[in-house]
A and B are shown apart, each in its own frame.
Chain A
Amino acid sequence: MTLEEFIKNFAEQFEDTDASKITADTDFTELDEWGSLTTISVIAMIKTEYDKNVTGSEIRKCETVKDLFDLVAAK
């Protein structure tokens, strides 16, 4: 699992947010599109792509995409 690939997969979960706006340091909780739907979408992506289970409350403790990447990497 590389950070670059994770960011790409993460950005893919958004419909209207420009993928180029999402970087390792992006505070994704500030994105207009971030919400319950995108949270579920990201949980499903992490399960499908990395075979790891993360919960909504774990994600809520993250701020940046890098935080989320570290969470998945530590699983």
Chain B
Amino acid sequence: MANPFSLESKNVLVTGASSGIGRAIAVLCSQFGANVYITARREDKLNETLSLMTGVNNKVVVADLSREKCIDNLTEQFPKLDGVVHCTGIGSRVLCKSVTREEIDRVMGANFIAPIMLQTSLLAKKKLNKNASIVFIASHGANSPAIANSIYSASKGAIISYANCLALEVAPRGIRVNCISPAMVWTDLIVKDGIDVETLKQDEKKYPLGRYGKPEDIAPLAAYLLSDGSSWMTTTNVKITGGGELSPL
């Protein structure tokens, strides 16, 4: 019997694959049989990801998604895709009274504009096969308010709204679009912005499952959404939280 969760011979693009959730997804997709194209800005980190992957048909493509020329160049580098996982993203911690235009531009640029412009290029260049699956890594923050998280949460809420409209436009070709909204996951993103690890370790004890997530906790859900096993799922935003909320503050 065919395994509905297999990614055998599917061409999958994973952005933000140099670390964290993107890396874990790239590795798992390769283990499930996909030909995985991984992209990010840092070549050395991408090569580290590649070294963890299974199979010989995976490929590193270095690209800075904030530059449109880079996006166009990137989308020339692979054949038609059966799956895309948008994992690029940055964190932001700023109180509402201290928000600057620069911070909005920085966060929306990375978390909202970059994935959309890549998606636009994939559509315009007809790089998606029928019945492909598109996954956006959003955040539980989009629906769960947290102090100092306004711009980050808004950027993730924006991508979820975008994804839902995209889903309608590609549905006639059987292409599905879903979001994953994790709560706190141990990645560079959560330890970079001024919260010390000790505070986070205290907070994770409050999670019903007793800990924050690991990138490897998120990857199987992405693999499922890419697989034929989720053929009737679209416009869904799946919460994956260990039962917890987003912010330690």
Contact = CB atoms under 8 A, between A and B. Distances in A.
Interface residues of A, number: 5
B130 A16 contact: yes
A15 B130 CA distance: 9
A63 interface: no
Interface size class for chain B?
Answer: under 10
Interface in B109-126: 126
A57 to B, nearest CB: 21
A16 B130 CA distance: 9
A33 B170 CA distance: 12
A35 B130 CA distance: 17
Contacts of A1: none
Interface SS of B by simple majority: helix
Contacts of B169: 37
Interface string B35-70: 000000000000000000000000000000000000
Nearest to B130: A16
Nearest to A40: B169
Interface string B123-165: 0001000100000000000000000000000000000000000
Contacts of B130: 16
Contacts of A33: 172
B22 to A, nearest CB: 28
CB-based closest 4 A-B pairs: A15-B173, A37-B169, A37-B172, A15-B126
8 contacts: A15-B126, A15-B173, A16-B130, A16-B173, A33-B172, A35-B172, A37-B169, A37-B172
